[in-house]
Amino acid sequence: MIEFKGSHFERDVILWAVRWYVAYPISYRRLEEMMEEHGVEVDHATLNRWVVKYVPLLEQEFRVRKEAVGPSWRMDETYVRVRGTWKYLYRAVDKAGATVAFLLTAKRDRMAALRFLRKAIKWNGTPEKITIDKSGANTAAIDSHNAETEAGIEIRQIKYLNNIVEQDHRAIKRLVRPMLGFKSFRSAAVTLAGIELMHMIQKGQLRTTGEMCPARQFYSLAG
């Protein structure tokens, strides 16, 4: 159960605003206008604080109820602009397109790829195989993990098999583009987590009891 005490706004209003921001390609100022049109006066700075505060809590609840992913992963990274410079969003999906994990990093190197791989394995278990592009950093990261843990993950470098994760990147980038750039690394990481969370819900990755639309599933995470 996520706690909403101390807020001047009702729980449902906060969740409504947070979901809109991570589900649709809008800026905070546009969201402020939309809330006002629905009779809620709240400034864009407050909307930002809600996202930064509640997305990590919602993501934590989601992880407990996340459906298991398959043992064959596709791993890749894409670019996100933070304070005018490019950062790297590592992502992986299984062969059915379900999101495995994601991680925003400042650099694109072996250590960044290894941090991402460790996070993905921590929350999903060890895969049998990982398909990557020709990235030497990703190859080195998997080799390092195999050497450290004797995991025996098979590495495949077959470009057409990675199309599924490259296409999945586009769904995330489509939402990021209208946000007009991130002002801090933390804000970027939290917002991307919210976008990924909603994207996973839309892909049916939340265990539920009964039929619920994606919006209801999102709200159910708050208890």
Fold classification of 72-173 is Nucleotidyltransferase; domain 5 (3.30.420)
For 89, list phi and psi in degrees, rounded to 5: -105, 105
Residues of the chain with CATH 3.30.420.10: 72-173
pLDDT of residue 179: 79
Q: How confident is the model at residue 161 (pLDDT cuts 50, 70, 90)?
A: confident
Tell me the C-alpha distance between 78 and 60, whole Å: 24
For the stretch 169-207, pLDDT in tens is 999 999 988 776 788 999 999 999 999 999 999 999 999
What is the structure's pLDDT at 177? 84
Pairing mode, strands 129-131 and 154-156: parallel
pLDDT number for residue 159: 79
pLDDT for 61 beyond 90: yes
65-89 mean pLDDT: 95
**Comparing 7 with 182, which gets the higher pLDDT?**
182
- Residue 195 in tokens: 């976008």
- What is residue 51's predicted lDDT score, i.e. its pLDDT? 96
Average confidence score pLDDT of the chain: 94
Q: CA distances (Å), 103 to each of 10, 30, 112, in order?
A: 31, 27, 9
Q: What angle do CA 206, 207, 208 make, to 5 degrees?
A: 110
Q: How far apart are the C-alpha atoms of 61 and 189, rounded to whole Å? A: 17
CB 198 within 8 A of CB 20: no
Query: What's residue 42's pLDDT?
Result: 95
The pLDDT of residue 1: 77
What are 119-151's pLDDT values in tens digits? 999 999 999 999 998 888 999 999 999 999 999
pTM of the model as a whole: 0.94
pLDDT at residue number 116: 98
**b or e along 182-213 (b: 16 or more beta carbons within 10 Å of the residue's beta carbon)?**
beeeebbbbbbbbbbbbbbbbbebbeeeeeee
Position 73 pLDDT exceeds 90: yes
Report the pLDDT value the prediction gives residue 50, as an integer from 0 to 100.
Answer: 96
- The band of 15, judged by pLDDT with boundaries at 50, 70 and 90, is very high
| Mean pLDDT (whole number) for 46-52 | 95
At residue 158 the predicted structure's pLDDT band, cuts being 50, 70 and 90, is confident
